[in-house]
Amino acid sequence: MDFKSILNEIVGNVDGAIGAGLVGTDGIVIDQVSTKGTFDISAVGAEYATIIKNAKKASENFGLGKTSEIMISTEKAMMIMMIVGAEYFITMALELDGNLGRGRLEVKKAIPKLERELA
């Protein structure tokens, strides 16, 4: 299964999903899918990568262990970000009334599949 198929599966299984992307911690987008033409993770990939790096560093500095998930809620959407391996993360955008619980579950289930593809 390739990256796009995995991302399509995630987005297709979550009500209110706007899109999803696999991004390197350097901010480079590996692949993405969208249900709306306006969703482009590459436009914000570098910004989210910075958030991920800062959260990982802060968690470890405070003795909280490794960061595994970050959620951001804005006035227009919710973003779920989860760590994939050592150098990547997956992000999913949801409508405000989207199914956040299902989104988290589907993203979490996709991580082992993405890690196999990255190996």
Per residue in 87-107, pLDDT tens? 999 999 999 999 999 999 999
Looking at residue 111, its pLDDT comes to 97
Question: Does 64 score more than 90 pLDDT?
Answer: yes
Looking at residue 47, its pLDDT comes to 85
Looking at residue 6, its pLDDT comes to 97
Rg (CA), the chain: 13
- Count of domains forming the chain: 1
The encoded tokens of residue 87 equal 């150098």
Split at pLDDT 50, 70, 90, the class of 40 is confident
Question: Does 44 score more than 80 pLDDT?
Answer: no
What CATH number is given to the structural domain containing 41? 3.30.450.30
Average pLDDT, the chain: 92
Say how many C-beta atoms besides its own lie within 10 A of residue 7's C-beta. 24
**Rounded average pLDDT over 61-77:** 93
How open is the CA angle 42-9-33, to the nearest 5 degrees? 20
Range of 105's domain?
A: 3-118
Q: Which amino acid is at 101?
A: G
**What predicted TM-score, i.e. pTM, was given to this entire model?**
0.91
**Rounded average pLDDT over 64-80:** 93
Q: What is the 3-state secondary structure (H, E, C) of the chain?
A: CCHHHHHHHHHHCCCCEEEEEEEECCCCEEEEEECCCCCCHHHCHHHHHHHHHHHHHHHHHCCCCCCCEEEEECCCCEEEEEEECCCEEEEEEECCCCCHHHHHHHHHHHHHHHHHHHC
Residue 58 main-chain phi, psi, to 5 deg: -65, -45
